[in-house]
Amino acid sequence: MPPNLPHLTLLQQRCIEARVLGPVIRTLQEELGAERANAIIQKAIARIAYAQGQERARALGRNDLQAFKAMSTARHGSGDLEIQVVKDTPEEYTFRVVRCRFAEMYREMGLGDVGHLLSCNRDFAFVQGFNPRIRLVRTQTIMQGAPFCDFSYRVEPPQTP
């Protein structure tokens, strides 16, 4: 984070981003159609998230699942997400998000239909940037209408030659 900026929570960061990107997304949707505009936004945000995953792994000095879990757990402690851990082993970290303040914020901003592009979309790319051997499986999100988000991070075994 650049010096002289106050520490912002992830929710505050996403709120600031949404205030800027929301009108850009709506304009792109008007000009290009929603499907094309959303695909462009999804691609751009995924690129940013991938780079952020790489940066975070470098900053932590390690990129194993336990480091990823510790980083994620610290974010959950902010209250932005309420989670229920389902499985926690050295090879797998599975949890449900039962309350998502990000989804609530995007809905309040009139961006509920694109909030998944701005937040949920980041998850897969971020973890790949953090460590390409960690795989995320997620079948549903609150952002897209499900009662909870299901996250399962698993470490793939090394490929043998």
161 belongs to a structural domain: no
Q: Tell me the two tokens of residue 92.
A: 């797998």
- 3-class DSSP state of 58: helix
Strand partners, 134: 155
Q: CA 54 to CA 125: how far, in whole Å? A: 10
Give helix 120-130 / helix 34-60 axis angle, nearest 10°. Answer: 40
2 belongs to a structural domain: no
What are the tens digits of pLDDT across the range 111-129?
Answer: 999 999 999 999 999 999 9
Residue 1, pLDDT score = 42
What are the tens digits of pLDDT across the range 48-82?
Answer: 999 999 999 999 999 999 999 988 877 666 789 99
Write the CB contacts of 76 (distance below 8 Å, at least 6 apart in sequence): 82, 83
What are the tens digits of pLDDT across the range 81-106?
Answer: 999 999 999 999 999 999 999 999 99
Range of the domain at 38: 10-155
Q: How many domains does the chain have?
A: 1
Write the CB contacts of 104 (distance below 8 Å, at least 6 apart in sequence): none
Sheet holding 149-155, edge to edge: 81-88, 92-100, 149-155, 134-137
- 3-class DSSP state of 114: coil
Measure the N-to-C terminal CA separation of the chain; round to a whole number of Å: 40
160 belongs to a structural domain: no
CATH number of the domain residue 114 falls in: 3.30.1380
pTM: 0.89
